[in-house]
């Protein structure tokens, strides 16, 4: 079965009515026949059929057993961290999503959970940094925003050997390109806000577990803590997933063309895209994923926040906004935006330079996107000349 067919038919027809679109059960509670005698649903924080359908779909797409849908990607991450207890440690990828860093540092450290960061692109670093206290290895691959790729299979082996869990944030790749559970991970999380939703119209998060027992633990945490996804937003994610395969293919094609354009541009210092042969982790990206995704980052020769600001305010089709993975192209300046909660030295050490710009390459015609970038480079160059002239 091809991926697109599997994906489209993972979305069930409603058994009650034959509705081809998943029904939205907008209810808080369910009438019981007698106390404790019900149709499998008692209260909508615990269970909702629309949310349940999304959870089954994502579990199938990620080749796991249990899916759990949350009110945001961060709520999904939060639920995974709640598997741990005081004294436990997390070993995390150094180029981590800013919000995950903030959650780990400003919320969980005070509860006695310590996080160590390593460059996970070299599995040996992970091997050397694991301690008996490490209970969770946290990967993002590709990372945000420098698109570093880590070897999931190799790191899963290290996790197994040390009796700790491996969780992969699969937001950038999506299950259309990469399935970490098949490579040995125990958990996958998603910000479904991005490619799964795909239309920049909701905030949602997902967890998928390989084993049923671990899934039941996350479900318990969710019911106890309460960060569920609403029925309508569950439906929106399902609707997004219907076209995931097609969208991701086009995101990949467009991003590859944009990355190749940037690679030879005179104003550019570095381009980060796993689909470029010059990318440090190109081989492992090729081995473990079916494509290289829609995110491209680059730094300017003029490596200043001022130049980056001038660039990100000069484009027309690339809209300046946080987030990614939608139909419309976006760009952002991580040092100022998504990564401003990370201290400057730490941010630069993880490769997020002052002028680094991240593109979320959308589904427009790629010639128009390239022309948009080119006119922004021309503007940047002429501003530089004006400035030199005035001085």
Ligand X SMILES: *Cc1c(COP(=O)(O)O)cnc(C)c1O
Chain residues binding ligand X by CB under 6 A are 72-74, 97, 99, 140, 144, 169, 171-172, 191, 193-194, 203, 205
| CB nearer to ligand X: pick between 52 and 99 | 99
Least distance in Å: CB of 360 to ligand X? 10
Give me the residue whose beta carbon is nearest to ligand X.
73
Alpha-carbon gap, residue 390 to 388, rounded angstroms: 6
Give the max Cα distance, the chain. 83
Element containing residue 154 per DSSP (H, E): helix 152-161
- 194 included as an active-site residue: yes
Element containing residue 20 per DSSP (H, E): none
Least distance in Å: CB of 367 to ligand X? 27
| CB nearer to ligand X: pick between 204 and 267 | 204
Within 10 Å of residue 217's Cβ, how many Cβ atoms?
A: 17
Within 10 Å of residue 312's Cβ, how many Cβ atoms?
A: 21
Q: What is the CA radius of gyration of the chain?
A: 22
As a whole number of Å, the end-to-end CA separation of the chain is 65
Find the catalytic residue in 94, 169, 233, 354.
169
Find the catalytic residue in 82, 194, 219, 347.
194
- 169 included as an active-site residue: yes
Least distance in Å: CB of 99 to ligand X? 5
Tokens of 245: 């395969």
| CB nearer to ligand X: pick between 203 and 337 | 203
- 269 included as an active-site residue: no
Please state, in angstroms and as integers, the Cα–Cα distance from residue 183 to each residue in 119, 189, 240, 347, following that order: 20, 15, 25, 29
| CB nearer to ligand X: pick between 221 and 267 | 221
Find the catalytic residue in 45, 102, 114, 384.
45
| CB nearer to ligand X: pick between 60 and 358 | 358
Least distance in Å: CB of 119 to ligand X? 17
- 97 included as an active-site residue: yes
Least distance in Å: CB of 52 to ligand X? 20
Alpha-carbon gap, residue 134 to 164, rounded angstroms: 7
Tokens of 210: 């390989």
Q: Kindly list the catalytic residues.
A: 45, 97, 169, 194
């Amino acid at each position: 079965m091809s991926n697109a067919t599997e994906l489209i038919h993972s979305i069930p027809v409603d058994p009650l009515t034959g509705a081809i679109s998943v029904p939205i059960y907008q209810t808080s509670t369910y009438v019981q026949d007698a106390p404790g005698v019900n149709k499998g649903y008692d209260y909508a924080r615990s269970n909702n059929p629309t949310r349940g359908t999304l959870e089954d779909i994502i579990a199938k797409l990620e080749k796991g057993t249990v899916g759990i849908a949350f009110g945001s990607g961060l709520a999904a991450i939060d639920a995974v961290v709640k598997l741990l207890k005081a004294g436990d440690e997390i070993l995390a990828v150094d180029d981590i999503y800013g919000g995950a860093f903030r959650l780990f540092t400003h919320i969980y450290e005070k509860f006695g959970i310590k996080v160590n960061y390593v460059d996970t692109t070299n599995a040996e670093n992970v091997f050397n940094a694991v301690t008996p206290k490490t209970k969770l290895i946290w990967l993002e691959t590709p990372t945000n925003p420098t698109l570093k790729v880590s070897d999931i299979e190799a790191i899963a082996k290290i996790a197994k050997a040390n009796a700790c869990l491996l969780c992969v944030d699969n937001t950038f790749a999506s299950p259309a390109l990469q399935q970490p559970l098949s490579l040995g991970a125990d958990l996958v999380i998603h910000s479904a806000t991005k490619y799964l939703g795909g239309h920049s119209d909701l905030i949602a998060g997902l967890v998928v577990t390989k084993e049923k027992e671990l899934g039941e633990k996350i479900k318990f945490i969710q019911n106890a803590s309460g960060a569920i996804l609403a029925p309508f937003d569950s439906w929106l994610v399902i609707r997004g997933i219907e076209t995931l395969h097609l969208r991701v293919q086009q995101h990949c094609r467009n991003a590859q063309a944009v990355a190749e354009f940037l690679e030879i541009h005179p104003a550019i210092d570095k381009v980060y895209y796993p689909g470029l042969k010059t990318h440090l982790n190109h081989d492992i990206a090729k081995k473990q994923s079916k494509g290289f995704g829609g995110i491209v980052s680059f730094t300017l020769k003029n490596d200043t926040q001022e130049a980056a600001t001038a660039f990100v305010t000069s484009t027309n089709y690339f809209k300046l906004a946080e987030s990614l993975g939608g139909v419309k192209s976006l760009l952002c300046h991580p040092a100022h935006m998504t990564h401003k909660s990370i201290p400057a030295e730490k941010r630069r050490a993880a490769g997020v330079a002052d002028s680094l710009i991240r593109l979320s390459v959308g589904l427009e015609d790629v010639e128009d996107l390239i022309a948009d970038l080119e006119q922004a480079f021309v503007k940047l160059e002429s501003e530089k000349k004006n400035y030199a002239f005035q001085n």
